[in-house]
Structure 1
């Protein structure tokens, strides 16, 4: 509710500033009423009621733009008040517009302009006292204290507003830098993933070439073997095509060095990964469940990397005497990974400020999967990923 009200005030700032001057406009009407009772005493006999209303309008209307043009609004009000003094019209309640204008300058402009506005206001007060008081110097301190208090409140508002703006600016800059770092990390992860998938696809193409060569040699002597080789070429080609489709939009460094293409690690290497982690001093329980079926090479690489990343984070941040468990569950159309530990959980910094999690999400996202990483309610940390199997895009 308050947020909508503030937004409405920003959109209709001119209307709000006009309505805020209603008390000052009433003072203008009061000034006309008071001076009409004794025009000679107030020096208003020569201008009449219409002149007083015009004077009040000239003092009030410029303040409508006091937020956008505070110095100009104050200068106009001060000049009108000076002309009023020259004509011989005494101080009226509507002359409080000078104080409103001075406050606007102090609250919205640098200190030099605030000091200038205060000096002009003090000179105006001194001129009025010269005309109306027996001893202007004796009467001057009282109004000065009142003027200074208004001026100081404007200076305080100015300082507070600048402080808030600086906080907002720093917060926006920090958010921009954080987003930039996240984009850089995302680009780096995509580059690395693209290079790995490139190797997977290149390996599949190499297999297709070998199978096609074998089919060519066996087509006359062993037609059945040639038929199986051609089927292998077809299956491998479809798999390579699916991987290539997922590479679209993923950045890749063209400066990749040449050389022999080798398949990236997959499900068959999980046991070796678990043993390597155990040798590093982290006890790991590893289980598989469900009917194991064929998983494309690219998705095998995703499964391997997620488990590797999660266990690496446990080694880094889990603390002493931590234990981990890895569970791979095969479903009819997906594979679910769960890597959990009983370490320090939420109290530990994880995955290099979130870059590891970004990599997991990028990998799984290319295959339409999901990943969730968070502290466990009973202590420790858990990474859960679901990866659809055999779906092409």
Structure 2
């Protein structure tokens, strides 16, 4: 604030200095010659009036209307008390320009009316007496008319120049403000876009973390409980359960490291990450989940984009995870994958507790994540309890044409 105030003070000092310099130049050019070389019998009065008019010019930017009023009064006194014009009348032209330049709206037109009045009074006062002595009314009237037109034309010209300069300055200021607003809007839009992108990335990372952690932990818990039950009856099967737990934990850890590397913004040198899971990884994921989960495949798996394959994988993974968590120990689950040239249909159905389940964590992030994933692929998702008991998840995902897939890869 202090810096801004000092800038305004410096600007004000510069304005005063410039106006004082202009007034001094007018004084040197119009008043000082009268003092040096003489100017009629009333030279003292002419010097006083000329000095007063030049002094009024100092106010031309700080208070243009006051400067106009002072110059008008001094010019009227000039017409009344002096029988001849003086060079100091040139201040009228500068004041006319200043009023047009610095006074907004219709108030500036006062200078035109006062200028027209002075353009008539001056020639009538100073010229008619000379031509009366010559006895030539025709010549006198013609000369007076010409003088009136010249004086009025000079005032109007100065006024027009001032208005033109004002309009040009206002147009430049408007363009500058518009440009500043446009740049501010662009910055705001970029910031908004960056925030939206960041929010989308966070949502994607949150979905990945949820799918990885929830599924892996569910599988590990189920295998651990099954391994404990088999430890007494079939020890060799318990070892298989422990191997499944270890393998699931290692895969979950690898996925977690990959996501953490993305969050840090750069991959570590020499790090090797597993490829994105897809349709081909679904059978292994289902078989490792639990013996109560059965997979059926209808048709041959098509060649689909990695994003579509990941979406199908995550939907099946989340549905199987929900089955392990909420369906009950005696329930069974069926995963059916139906492939056609234009669609991939993933249906996960169980005969568990369904709507009667009381083990829900209440957050619903898994179902919300599935809906977001399927919607991003322009697919449809059905997730609801069955009337006969159990729960049903059905995802219908269209397969993009080859040309669309290639174009999408080129855009990326």
| Contact 1:208-1:237 at 8 Å conserved across structures | no
What corresponds to 1:147 in structure 2? 155
Segment of structure 1 superposing worse, 230-239 or 159-168: 230-239
| Contact 2:19-2:59 at 8 Å conserved across structures | no
| Contact 1:105-1:117 at 8 Å conserved across structures | yes
2:402 counterpart of 1:278: yes
2:93 counterpart of 1:99: yes
Instruction: Measure, in 2, the Cα distance between the counterparts of 1:79 and 1:256.
Output: 85
Name the larger-Rg structure. Answer: 2
Query: For 1:190, which of 188, 191, 198 is the aligned residue?
Result: 198
1:94-173 matches, cutoff 5 A: 94-110=88-104, 112-134=106-128, 137-138=144-145, 139-173=147-181
1:186-265 matches, cutoff 5 A: 186-210=194-218, 212-213=220-221, 216-217=224-225, 218=227, 221-222=238-239, 226-232=245-251, 234-238=253-257, 259=367, 261=369
2:33 counterpart of 1:33: yes
What corresponds to 1:44 in structure 2? 43
What corresponds to 1:80 in structure 2? 74
Give deviations 1:246-285, integer Å, cap 9, x for gaps: 8xxxxxxxx99761645969xxxxxxxxx945244x8x5x
- Specify whether residues 31 and 18 from structure 1 end up closer, same or farther in structure 2 by C-alpha distance, changes over 3 A only: same
What corresponds to 2:63 in structure 1? 69
User: Residue 100 of structure 1: CA displacement?
Assistant: 0.6
| Contact 2:57-2:95 at 8 Å conserved across structures | yes
Instruction: Measure, in 1, the Cα distance between the counterparts of 2:187 and 2:72.
Output: 50
- Specify whether residues 164 and 237 from structure 1 end up closer, same or farther in structure 2 by C-alpha distance, changes over 3 A only: closer
- Specify whether residues 166 and 230 from structure 1 end up closer, same or farther in structure 2 by C-alpha distance, changes over 3 A only: closer
Taking only aligned residues, the RMSD between alpha carbons, in angstroms, comes to 4.4
TM-score, reference length from structure 2: 0.49
- Specify whether residues 229 and 193 from structure 1 end up closer, same or farther in structure 2 by C-alpha distance, changes over 3 A only: closer
* 2:367 aligned counterpart, secondary structure: coil
| Contact 2:26-2:91 at 8 Å conserved across structures | no
Aligned residues: 259
| Contact 1:66-1:104 at 8 Å conserved across structures | yes
| Contact 2:96-2:155 at 8 Å conserved across structures | no
Instruction: Measure, in 1, the Cα distance between the counterparts of 2:223 and 2:84.
Output: 112
